[in-house]
Chains A and B, each alone.
Chain A
Amino acid sequence: MIDTVLHIFPFNVRIRSSFAGVAEHLDFFYSNHPRHGSDSFIDFDVQVLHGQGLRRWWHPQARLLLDGKESFFPLPAVQAAPMLEWGLNWCIASRPLGYLVMHAGLLAQGDRALMLPGVPGAGKSTLTASLCLLEDWRLLSDELAILDPVSGLMQPHARPICLKNASIEIACGFPKTRLGRVYHDTRKGTISHAACPTASMAASSTPARVQWVVFPRFELDSPPRCEEISRVEAFSMISEQSFNRERMGEVGFDALCAMLTDARCFQIVYGSTDAGLQLIHEITQP
């Protein structure tokens, strides 16, 4: 049984699990994250436990408990580690009171951040992985863009990149990729995780200000297209990708407006990783 408190900036997460797979996952992906004592403040108390009764042995299952309560359907035991990652995403998307949380990849060069919001399947995780593993952008998050309304800065949240289906093979071709186990037949298809690059981990508490907002759309073999869009249009699309805008109310509204006032916004369509990287290069290095 593991029981540890990880500091995954900007949150403290207590993780308890009876699964060897979860322990291996933490060793592989979180060995450089600071550990705290059990007396420190805990933002999320997460347990990934074996199924109860017959389900411990027959088609064994994994259960996720948050603050001692089981709010999710169990998954096959072999998916215990992905379940932890999905559970953490759920915690961060739905629990924090002080941050506006949006569904977007987030990278930075120095203190200038590039935000890649997008609906699932738009290709943002693959593009995020390509930018940090091939082009040395600093990874802040592959999935959760966390905006501090007080400072107006994006908060890093350095965790493994979740890759799905065809993007796993693409990322395998990058020289800096450290890929974990591959999980088949999950609710998202085949998935795997790529480790957060070492340089990004080293700067995992350094925030950045959004300079560019790019809405990516991958269309196989499509010719590359780039269009600058208005901040109003970007606002509408980002607010659809915000997990907690209703709860953040006026504070979230002001924070998002301030964030966009400093940013230029684009929509891109690309048909290959190289084309996507080239478009990002043209936007950020004009």
Chain B
Amino acid sequence: MKFGPCWSCSDAVILFDCHSGDYWVVSDLGFKLLRLLLTHAEMTHEALAMQLAPDLAHEENPAMLQLTMQSLMDNGLLQAVHCRAD
């Protein structure tokens, strides 16, 4: 995956899938989420929420992180989430 520039005129980022050649428009939150997941081998939902807290504070919907992850998975940009009971 490759991200386009963070243009100040937009609250979204272009994402390029080097394998399929497809382009995606991802929200600023989705971009930051993907960037975190790409740079950390393993990350819990709680750790993600903590890292993204400044961005989530602006969101009206408290479930925005979950919704964003679901959207990324629905579009194949996140392929798997490993759920642990603990």
Contacts and interface: CB of A to CB of B under 8 A. Distances in A.
A230 B9 contact: yes
A231 B7 contact: yes
A285 interface: no
Interface stretch (B18-26, B40-48, B64-72): B18-26
Contact of B9 (A231, A249, A250, A253): A231
A257 B4 contact: yes
Chain A interface category by residue count:
10 to 19
Contact of A250 (B2, B5, B14): B2
A273 interface: no
Interface in B8-39: 9-10, 12-14, 16, 18, 21, 23, 25
Interface string A215-237: 00000000000001011110110
Nearest to B18: A250
A239 interface: yes
B16 A232 contact: no
A278 interface: no
A235 B9 contact: no
Contacts of B13: 232
Interface in A261-278: 261
A232 B21 contact: no
Majority SS at the chain A contact face: helix
A253 B2 contact: yes
A261 B21 contact: no
B16 A250 contact: yes
Nearest to A231: B7
A67 interface: no
B29 to A, nearest CB: 14
A257 B5 contact: yes
B5 A261 contact: yes
A253 B12 contact: no
A257 B25 CA distance: 13
Given A230-B10, A250-B16, A257-B14, A235 B4 contact: yes
A253 B7 contact: no
Given A239-B23, A246-B21, A250-B16, A232 B10 contact: yes
A230 B13 CA distance: 11
